């Protein structure tokens, strides 16, 4: 195991990913693939009803089945100190107190864990478990339940609604978005292995330290007792930011049978076990004066949540980011339903809110008879964060819009909707902008160096496909000149220097500072050792120390080059092992930070069949400095495809009468296939942010999706004159909506 295969002889392609060969040859191990001796298999039995209580569980038949080791349920399970009583359960913020309650909150809730020698035996035995329920009334209909949920303020009100009550140009509309599901390619899985009061977890997640912290809290164990590996992650999109019930189930299973236990969720189980983007309702009232300047916005939002977890998607956050105007009121409510808990899904909140804001802006532009691009220029808050008043450290959104308009051929757009046809196809163009707060968290990195100058660069941070490892390698290479072939990356292991989770578009921003910091620490350490051989290095500062493939030198006229071999020999070293951490500083109180994107698309809509084809799609992104051009482009195109899914097809169906998800598998839940997307054209402004972190890179993971759905919906309006405010815009809607 190991993020970088030690035995790999092939050189990394110059601009490729460090883990590419490990991934495509299958050598890279995902959570369920680690070989653990004596492992046994666990399968979840889940509730068949959406609400009520478990009256009884018939386990006898299952227990007698061949190969069964034990069965865990609320009736019999190892103690979890963190769930000792109701107060503790609440404090733990874990969410579902799995196997510590007989209450059923949703259909699909784990009610038993069957552990057997082989996977097949466990599956079969699980099918023999029978439960008797005391059914209770349930609610899974978001649109029905939300009607009576009261809105509450979400963030401070700015100005007043009164001042812009009667403006000549205003939009007041409601927007609905169906529940979407992450559906990463890799099913979540955990292998749990106890050794006394030490625990090893091979677990699919987006943050090993977070898993460590959560589990150690639940079991009252020191965090160091828990070792978590998540070295290869087959996509997360936010589903791996929390520790979910199945992880705890595996941990309990391993404790119960005193053997390592492997649990992998099935694809249908994934739909109710690791979160999802909750269904949402929004109402926007937006008013502008006759020049197109926004005077005020009133944004009301509601999202579905679980009864046991009041997750708020933060839908109105984005309304406080993009445009400059005096009066803003935002409100929110969460609507508890008999469904599993939702969670952050790529561009959480902002994606949803931006659909409403950017659709409303587009509607406004037609009222004003103004080019939607001009309307954006008129209102962008380019200097300061409109809410906090802090100056943007960098904000090149206007430039991004200009470039995007050029790339799509915006001048081909007809300003009158439904006026461009080619046979049965109606042609239209649309645009929208997206923004995301650019964050940075504390992170640590380590370097292990040998006497040949080979370096292993380490961090606990995961790489969920974003290219973190590659970014770290590039930063190290760029900062020191050391050849990429001499650098290996180790990550996704809690034994390595700690870091935050990979999410919220903060990964690169956080780890880049740590890499820069640890390079300096390495330099100083080497310098310390070299002083023995050359006193010129005494008191040398990091800035003046130069590394290379073969040794160190000083930034002086007579360089003082000392080869690594000599340093090692003179100091009797085997390895040099250093660590450093870095995090945000007072720049966060001086500046506001954001990433942004301008999305443009051309669509054609078939007036006979309702088929929508995205013919052309352009994304221009201000993400600060681009550290890895290929993976960065990959982030944006992947996110754009997610946006096409959000706009045109993704929806989780729910049967309101039976209280159940239906079609929860990859046949029933549609996300885009290759044929649904054009080649997405991506451009980066690529101007470094001088304040956010040493690399100048802002986050890219999410701006790529924020704004895509409204860009498409706006294009569909331009093509057909039909305004769709309910996502997804499936062919069905073309016919049912007037």
Partner 1 sequence: MVRNTALTTDKNILQNTPLIAKAVLAGASPQIRNMASTAGNLLQRTRCVYFYDITMPCNKRNPGSGCSALKGENSMSALVGYNEQCVAVHPSDLCVALAALDAEVFVTSENKKKIKIPFKDFHKLPENTPSLDNTLPQNALITHIEIPMEAFSKNFAYVKLRERTSYAFALVSVASALHLEGDKIIEARLASGGVAHKPWRWYEAENYLKGKKASAETFAKAASIATENIKPLSKNGYKIPMLKGAIETALQNSLKS
**Interface residue list for partner 1 (CB under 8 A):** 48, 107, 424, 606-611, 648-649, 653, 655, 657-658, 660, 662-663, 667-668, 670-676, 730-736
Q: From the CB of 248, what's the least distance to partner 1, in Å?
A: 24
Smallest separation (angstroms) from partner 1 to the CB of 510: 36
Task: Let me know the angle formed at the C-alpha of 679 by 673 and 680, rounded to the nearest 5 degrees.
Answer: 100
Residue that has been written with the tokens 């029978």 in this structure: 130
Q: Rounded to the nearest whole angstrom, what is the least distance from the CB of residue 676 to partner 1 in the complex?
A: 5
Q: Is the dihedral of CA 339, 344, 345, 349 positive or negative?
A: positive
- Select 7 or 736, whichever has its Cβ closest to partner 1: 736
What is the smallest separation between the CB atom of 107 and partner 1, expressed in angstroms? 8
Nearest in space to 343 (alpha carbons), one of 278, 272, 268, 247:
278
Report d(CA 99, CA 285) in Å as an integer. Answer: 45
Nearest approach in angstroms of CB 345 to partner 1 is: 19
d(CA 30, CA 203): 8
CA dihedral 705, 710, 713, 719 (to 10 degrees): -110
Q: CB nearer to partner 1: give 39 or 613.
A: 613
- The CB-based long-range contact list for 59-66 (8 Å cut-off, 24+ gap) reads 59/112, 59/129, 61/128, 61/129, 61/130, 62/114, 62/125, 62/126, 62/128, 62/129, 63/125, 65/116, 65/121, 65/124, 65/125, 65/128, 66/121
Place of tokens 């969920």: 464
Q: Where are the alpha helices (DSSP H) in 192-315?
A: 208-219, 245-257, 267-270
Nearer to partner 1, 19 or 179 (CB): 179
Non-local CB neighbours of 165 within 8 Å, separated by 6+ positions: none
Nearer to partner 1, 669 or 684 (CB): 669
Least distance (Å) between residue 141 CB and partner 1? 12
Q: Report how far residue 658's alpha carbon sits from residue 660's, in angstroms, rounded to the nearest whole number.
A: 6
Q: What is the closest distance, in whole angstroms, from the C-beta atom of residue 225 to partner 1 in the complex? A: 40
- What Å distances lie between residue 22 and 16, 29, 631, 632, 732, CA to CA? 12, 8, 16, 20, 43
Only one residue has tokens 């190290």, namely 476
Peptide bond into 167 cis (omega under 30): no
Indicate the residue among 546 and 677 with the shorter CB distance to partner 1: 677
Q: Smaller CB distance to partner 1: residue 546 or 613?
A: 613
Q: What is the 3-state secondary structure (H, E, C) of 154-185?
A: CCCCECCCHHHCCCCEEEEEEEEECCECCCCC
Minimum distance, C-beta of residue 52 to partner 1, in the bound complex (Å) = 14
Residue placing its CB nearer to partner 1 in the complex, 20 or 613: 613
Tell me whether residue 667 or residue 679 sits nearer to partner 1 (CB atom): 667
In the complex, least distance from residue 513 CB atom to partner 1, rounded to whole angstroms? 41
CB of 14 or CB of 675, closer to partner 1: 675
- In sequence order, the β-bridge partners of residue 329 are 298
Q: Least distance (Å) from partner 1 to the CB of residue 147? A: 20
Q: How far apart are CA 418 and CA 425, in angstroms?
A: 10
Name the residue nearer to partner 1 (CB basis): 416 or 658: 658
């Amino acid at each position: 195991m190991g993020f970088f295969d030690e035995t790999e002889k092939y050189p990394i392609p110059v601009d490729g990913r460090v883990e590419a060969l490990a991934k495509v040859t299958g050598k890279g191990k995902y959570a369920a693939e680690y070989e653990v001796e004596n492992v046994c298999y666990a399968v979840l039995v889940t509730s068949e009803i959406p609400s009520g209580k478990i009256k009884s569980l018939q386990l006898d038949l299952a227990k007698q089945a061949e190969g069964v080791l034990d069965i865990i349920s609320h009736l019999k399970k190892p103690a979890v100190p963190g769930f000792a009583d109701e107060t503790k359960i609440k404090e733990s913020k874990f969410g579902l107190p799995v196997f510590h309650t007989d209450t059923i909150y949703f259909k699909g809730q784990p009610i038993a864990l069957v552990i057997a020698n082989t996977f097949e035996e466990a599956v079969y035995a699980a099918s023999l478990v029978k439960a008797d329920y005391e059914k209770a009334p349930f609610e899974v209909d978001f649109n029905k339940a939300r009607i009576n949920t009261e809105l509450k303020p979400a963030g401070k009100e700015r100005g007043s609604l009164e001042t812009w009550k009667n403006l000549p140009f205003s939009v007041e509309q409601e927007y609905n978005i169906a529940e979407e599901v992450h559906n990463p390619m890799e099913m979540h899985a955990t292998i749990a292995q106890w050794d006394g009061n030490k625990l090893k977890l091979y677990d699919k997640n987006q943050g090993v330290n977070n898993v460590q912290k959560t589990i150690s809290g639940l079991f009252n164990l020191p965090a160091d007792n828990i070792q978590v590996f998540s070295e290869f992650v087959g996509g997360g999109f936010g589903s791996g930011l929390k520790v979910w019930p199945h992880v705890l189930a595996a941990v309990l299973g391993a404790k119960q049978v005193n053997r390592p236990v492997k649990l992998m969720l099935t694809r249908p189980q994934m739909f109710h076990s690791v979160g999802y983007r909750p269904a949402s309702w929004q109402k926007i009232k937006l008013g502008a004066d006759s020049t197109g300047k926004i005077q005020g916005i009133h944004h009301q939002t509601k999202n579905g949540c679980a009864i046991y977890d009041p997750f708020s998607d933060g839908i109105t956050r984005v309304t406080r980011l993009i445009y400059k105007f005096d009066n803003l009121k935002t409100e929110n409510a969460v609507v508890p339903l008999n469904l599993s808990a939702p969670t952050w899904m790529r561009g959480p909140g902002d994606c949803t809110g931006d659909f409403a804001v950017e659709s409303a802006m587009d509607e406004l532009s037609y009222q004003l008879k103004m080019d939607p691009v001009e309307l954006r220029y008129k209102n962008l808050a380019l200097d300061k964060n409109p809410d906090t008043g802090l100056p943007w450290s960098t904000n090149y959104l206007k430039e991004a819009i200009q470039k995007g308009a050029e790339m799509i051929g915006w001048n081909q757009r007809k300003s009158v909707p439904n006026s461009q046809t080619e046979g049965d196809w109606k042609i239209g163009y649309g645009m929208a902008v997206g923004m995301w707060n650019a964050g940075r968290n504390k992170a640590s990195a380590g370097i292990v160096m040998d006497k040949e100058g080979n370096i292993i660069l380490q961090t606990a941070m995961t790489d969920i496909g974003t290219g973190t490892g590659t970014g770290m390698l590039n930063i190290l290479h760029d900062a020191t000149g050391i050849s990429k072939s001499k650098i290996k990356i180790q990550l996704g292991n809690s034994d390595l220097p700690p870091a935050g989770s990979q999410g919220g578009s903060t990964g690169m921003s956080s780890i880049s500072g740590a890499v820069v910091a640890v390079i300096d620490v390495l330099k100083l350490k080497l310098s310390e050792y070299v002083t023995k051989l050359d006193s010129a290095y005494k008191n040398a500062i990091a800035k003046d120390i130069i590394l290379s493939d073969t040794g160190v030198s000083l930034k002086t006229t007579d360089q003082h080059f000392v080869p690594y071999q000599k340093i090692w020999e003179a100091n009797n070293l085997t390895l040099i092992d250093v660590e450093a951490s870095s995090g945000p500083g007072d720049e966060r109180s001086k500046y506001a930070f954001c990433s942004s994107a301008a999305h443009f698309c051309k669509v054609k809509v078939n007036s006979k069949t309702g088929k929508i084809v995205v013919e052309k799609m352009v994304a221009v992104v201000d993400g600060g400095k681009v550290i890895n051009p290929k993976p960065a482009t990959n982030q944006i195109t992947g996110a754009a495809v997610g946006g096409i899914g959000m706009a045109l097809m993704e929806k989780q169906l729910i049967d309101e009468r039976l209280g159940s998800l239906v079609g929860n598998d990859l046949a029933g839940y549609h996300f885009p296939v290759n044929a649904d997307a054009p080649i997405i054209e991506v451009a980066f402004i690529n101007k470094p942010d001088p304040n956010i972190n040493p690399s100048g890179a802002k986050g890219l993971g999410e701006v790529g999706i924020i704004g895509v759905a409204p860009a498409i919906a706006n294009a569909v309006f331009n093509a057909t004159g039909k305004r769709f405010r309910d996502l997804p815009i499936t062919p069905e809607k073309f016919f049912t909506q007037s």
